[in-house]
Amino acid sequence: MPLLESRLPSPPPLLRNGHAETLFAGLLRRPPKLDLERERLELPDGDFLDLDWSRSGSRRLALLTHGLEGHSRRPYVLGMAQALRDAGFDVLARNLRGCSGELNRLPTAYHSGETGDLDQVLHHALARGGYESVVLVGFSIGGNQTLRYLGEDPDRVPGAVAASVCISVPCDLPSSERELARRSNRIYVLNFLKTLREKLREKNRRFPGLVDPERLEAVHDLHTFDDLFTAPRHGFRDAAHYYVAASSRPVLGAIRVPTLVLNARNDPFLPLECFPEAEARANPMLFLETPVLGGHVGFVPPRPGPYRSETRAQEFLARVLGLPPAMRG
């Protein structure tokens, strides 16, 4: 019954609120300075992915996936990258299509349930680096993609994948979208829509007629944006179909590698449906930890240092991989 009792320390007193911790981590965190080497991976469909590497010659690799409208150099990605480098891993942080600072080439983009690109990056990394083991780490929708990848077709997951850590995961997308639509979450939705609209305006210039410009300017929430673009351009009937089909919760029972889902109870993006307790009880490989405090990709530490999600990832991976506590490479 892998429902884990959380022993994470609390954030500073002023941040013991889901919104405060989310906003502090997203806007005020100073990222660690980490040297990264960028690689462009050309894809069979004519598009590309930009990858950021941090290598020390380890035989273990951590593959990181950011969240909605994030990128590989966001503070939460760099913080985890530094923590796992310190723990003896090489690190590869991938950018979803169109998220590296350059718009992708095709009329499509990325979506919350897309797993083919993760599979291609993983096989590329294994072929290039000759790694003995790989761990997958995903944040928010990057966590949803990671969980879907592990559960939708476990036979295609390479044997080198040894474990996974997924943080602040909206594993039930229909309910998470409804939660985001609340007035209290308007600031986050507006932030997402700002960059989503900008990218789609540019795509419309490259591909005239891709979407109706007037409808695009009238978009006021994520459901409307997904109805206009994400769903029809990625093979879904509409936004409602997309949210159901792309959710990872229905496939959690099939995951075969030790996987930690770390979702805070005060995450403003996550309703009760995003805490898969029944699935964790039924699958000995799925570990669910639900601390009271943490916000969305927050987990601010009580004092300067690694964030609580980063130290928790280190601890979990050390235990399931049978590594010493210091996890030296």
Catalogue the active-site residues. 140, 267, 296
For residues 255 and 235, give the distance between their C-alpha atoms in angstroms, rounded to a whole number: 25
CB 303 within 8 A of CB 309: no
Strand segments (E) across 66-183: 90-94, 133-139, 161-167
DSSP3 helix / strand / coil % (the chain, rounded to 5)? 40, 15, 45
How far from 103 is each of 1, 190, 229, 329, CA to CA, in Å? 44, 20, 16, 36
Q: What pairs with residue 60 in β-bridges?
A: 133
For residues 74 and 29, give the distance between their C-alpha atoms in angstroms, rounded to a whole number: 10
Q: Which residues of 289-325 are buried (b: 16+ CB within 10 A; e: fewer)?
A: bbbebbbbbbbbbeeeebbbbbbbbbebbbebeebee
